[in-house]
A and B are shown apart, each in its own frame.
Chain A
Amino acid sequence: MRAVTLHLRTTPARWAVLPLAALGLAILFGRSRYWIGIWPEAGAAAQITGYFLSLFAAGVSAWIAAQVTVRGMREQLAAAARRSIGVEAGRLAAAAAWIVMAYLVVAVAAFAATARTFPPGVGAFFSYLLLGLVPVLASTAWGWLVGRLLAPMLAAVCALMGWFVLTSLLGQFAQSLRISGPPWLALDLTTILLRLAAVIVLAAGVCVIPLTYRGRTVVRALAGPLGVALVVVVHVNTTLVTYRQPASDPLCVQGAIEYCLWPEHEKYIPLVKAADARVAALPADLPLPPRVVDYALSGSTVYVDLTHSIERQGDFPHEFDISEGSRWGLARGIATAISREIFKSCAVQAKPDPERRRDQIFAWLEWRIAGGGSPDYTTDAPGEMQDAWTVGRQTATRSEPEQAEWVNRTISEVKTLHCHEQ
C-alpha cells in the first residue's frame, strides 16, 4: 500500500463522493440540456456544476478538518514523527482527491454525453474543466481553514455560507465562473493556471497552521488567511475570458440563404436547415440576403476585450444568435437580415410611421422563420412596438395569399410613405 492509498482509504471524504457526484449529476442534467453536443458548452456546464459542488465541498472539507478535534486525534497527530505540514497535507490532499473525484464524475458524464457526436472544439471542454477545478479545490482549502478553527457542524455551515458570500463578492470584481461557453469566447489558460497555483499556495498555507501551540504559531496561523487573500488578488488581477478571432473555416450550409456557424455549433445544423425551409417558403418576391452568420463570425466587430469592441464599417453579413439552440434567436437574426434587405434602399424615414409597419414586417418574418408559437424571450420594448409585433404575428396565421397580399402592401406603404429611397 502506498501513502496515497492509505490516505485515500482513511479520509472520511470518501463517504462524500457518492452524494456529491449524485448531486452534481442532478445539477448537470437538471439545470439544462442544451449543452449536450457542443464542447465548450458541455465544459461550461460541468464547470458551473463544479461551482455548485464547491459550496458543499467547503462544508465537507470543514467538517473533515474539524474531526481531528472531535475525534480527539489532535494529540496523536501532534506526536507524529512526520512534519505537521506533511500530516495535514496528506489529510487535505486525500479529502481534495475524493471531492475532485465527484467533480470528475460530473465532467465524465458531460464528456460522454457530448462525445456521442464528437463535434469540433474538444479542447475548449478541457479548459472549462480546468476552470471548474479552481472553485472545487479552493473551496476545499477554504473549508479546511475554517474546519481548523471551529467545531465540525459549525465549521461546515460557516464554510459553506462563507464560501457562498466570498464567491459572490469576488464575482463583483472578477470573472471566476462561466454560466455558458459560447464558441466565440475563449478561456485564458495562463489565467486558469495562475489561479490554480494561488489555490495550491492557499492549501499549503492551510497545512502549516499548527496542530499544537508550539513554535512560530502566529506566523504560521496567518498563512491560511494570507492564502485566501492571494487567491482573491490573483482572481481580481487576471482576465479569464477573451473573444476568439472569427473561425477561418466556419461551418456553412447553403439553402435559400447561406448560413455559416462556428464549427462548434455543428449540432444546430438541423435547426438551421429547418429554418431555411421556412425561409424558402416565404413569398417568392421577397429579397433575401446572400449570407447570414453566427454571432461574432461576421468580422464586423473587432473585440478588444469583453468591455471594449470596435465596429468596422463595410458590407458584413448579418449575424444571428443561436446560443442554447434557440430557434427564436436564429429566426430573429434571419428576420432582421431579410428586413434589412427589403428596406435596403430605405435609409431614412421621411416621416414617422405610427403603425410601425417595419416592425410588423419584422415580427411576421420572425414568426414564420421560427415556425410559430410563442417567443422564448421576454422584452421590455415600448408598447407601440409590441402592438406592431402582435399585428405581424397575427398576420402570419392567415392564409398564404392573404399574407402575400398584406406583405406586398405593407412593404409598398413603408417605401412610399415613410422612407426616402436611396
Chain B
Amino acid sequence: MTALLGPNGAGKTTLLRTLATVQPHRTGELVIGGQLVASEAQARRARRQVGYLPQRFGFDPRMRVSDFVCYGGWLRGLPQREWRGATTAALTHVGLADRAGQTMGSLSGGMRQRAAIAWAIVGQPKLVLLDEPTVGLDPQQRLRFREIVTSLTGATVLLSTHLIDDVDAVCDRVIVMNAGRVLFEGPTDELKALEQASMPGHTPLERAYMSLLPAQDRDR
C-alpha cells in the first residue's frame, strides 16, 4: 500500500493517469507488471491488470450497483464466466453485497465511494490506483474506507491523497511529490524519521512531509 503525497499541482493525478495509461507519457518508459507499455495494444493488455478509480468517477444514477460493478469488470476485459463471481466478491469486499440491487443514485456518498472502489477492484487487478478517494467523506466513512483499503491483499495499491491521516493509517510506503518530481520514496516510518520539530503540523508524519517541501510551497 503506497501513498502518493504532495500539494495540489504536484503531479499526483498525472502520474496515476499515466499509470492507468489514460494519459500518454512524454518521456521515459512505462512498465506495468514487468511489461513495457509503448503502444495502444500493450496499454490495453496492461489495463487488464490495473484497477483505476479517477478523482471524479462517473456513474449513471439509475444503474444498479451490481450492474455498475459488472460493467467495470466487462471494461477490464474479464471473461463472461467470471462476471458474476467477481462482482459479488468486489461488492462483498466493500460491504455492499446487500445493496447490489439498489440503484447507484439511491446510495449515500460513502456507499457510492465504496461502490466505486468495487468498480476498481472487480476481478482482482494487480495494481489499484485510487485518486483522492476520501475527498468529501465524513470521518465515519473515511474509517470505513480505510478498513476496505487495508483489507486489499494481493494487489499493489497506489493511493493519491493529501490527507496525511489516511497515509499514516493505511500505507506502509510513501512517495512524496512536488512540481512533478519525487522528493521522497520509501517506508512510511522512514519518512516519519525525517520529522523536524520546527515544521508546522500536528503529527510526526505531517511535520516530516512539510520538511520535504520547498519553503515557498509550505506557505501555500
Residues of chain A whose beta carbon lies under 8 Å from any beta carbon of chain B? 1-3, 6, 9-10, 12, 15, 67-68, 71-83, 87, 212, 214-215
Q: 29 A–B contact pairs at CB < 8 A? A: A1-B84, A3-B74, A6-B70, A6-B71, A6-B74, A9-B67, A10-B63, A12-B60, A67-B60, A68-B58, A72-B58, A74-B58, A75-B17, A75-B58, A76-B72, A78-B22, A79-B21, A79-B22, A79-B54, A80-B75, A80-B76, A81-B45, A82-B75, A82-B77, A87-B75, A212-B22, A214-B24, A214-B40, A215-B40
Measured CA separation A301–B188 after assembly (Å):
94
Q: Which of these, B23, B45, B62, B119, contacts A76 with CB under 8 Å?
A: B119
Q: Are A77 and B67 in contact (CB under 8 A)?
A: no
Could you say which residues of chain B place their CB within 8 Å of the CB of A214? 24, 40
- 0 or 1 for each of B6-30: is its CB under 8 Å from A? (1 = yes): 0000000000010011111000000
Q: Are B58 and A1 in contact (CB under 8 A)?
A: no
A2-B80 contact in complex given A79-B20, A79-B22, A82-B75, C-beta closer than 8 Å: yes
Q: Are A81 and B60 in contact (CB under 8 A)?
A: no
Could you say which residues of chain A place their CB within 8 Å of the CB of B72? 76
Q: Are A77 and B75 in contact (CB under 8 A)?
A: yes
Q: Which of these, B47, B64, B67, B84, contacts A81 with CB under 8 Å?
A: B47
Q: How far is the CB of A218 from chain B (nearest CB, A)?
A: 16
Q: Which of these, B24, B56, B68, B77, contacts A72 with CB under 8 Å?
A: B56
Measured CA separation A105–B20 after assembly (Å):
43
Measured CA separation A76–B56 after assembly (Å):
10
Q: Nearest A residue to B21 by beta-carbon distance?
A: A79
Q: Which of these, A6, A74, A81, contacts B77 with CB under 8 Å?
A: A81
- Do most interface residues of chain B lie in helix, strand or loop, or is the interface mixed? mixed
Could you say which residues of chain B place their CB within 8 Å of the CB of A12? 60, 62
Measured CA separation A6–B70 after assembly (Å):
8
A75-B74 contact in complex given A81-B48, A214-B24, C-beta closer than 8 Å: no
Interface: B50 (CB within 8 A): yes
Q: Are B67 and A10 in contact (CB under 8 A)?
A: yes
The 9 closest A-B pairs by CB, nearest first: A73-B58, A72-B58, A81-B77, A71-B58, A80-B75, A81-B47, A75-B54, A81-B48, A72-B56
A76-B44 contact in complex given A2-B80, A12-B60, A71-B58, C-beta closer than 8 Å: no
Measured CA separation A12–B60 after assembly (Å):
8
- 0 or 1 for each of B156-187: is its CB under 8 Å from A? (1 = yes): 00000000000000000000000000000000
Q: Are A79 and B67 in contact (CB under 8 A)?
A: no
Q: How far is the CB of B56 from chain A (nearest CB, A)?
A: 5
Q: Nearest A residue to B77 by beta-carbon distance?
A: A81
Measured CA separation A268–B9 after assembly (Å):
78
Measured CA separation A83–B47 after assembly (Å):
11
Max count, chain B CB within 10 A of own CB: residue among A9, A15, A74, A80: A80
Max count, chain A CB within 10 A of own CB: residue among B44, B48, B58, B84: B58
Measured CA separation A74–B58 after assembly (Å):
8
- 0 or 1 for each of B38-56: is its CB under 8 Å from A? (1 = yes): 0010001101101010101
Q: Are A76 and B52 in contact (CB under 8 A)?
A: yes
Could you say which residues of chain A place their CB within 8 Å of the CB of B50? 79
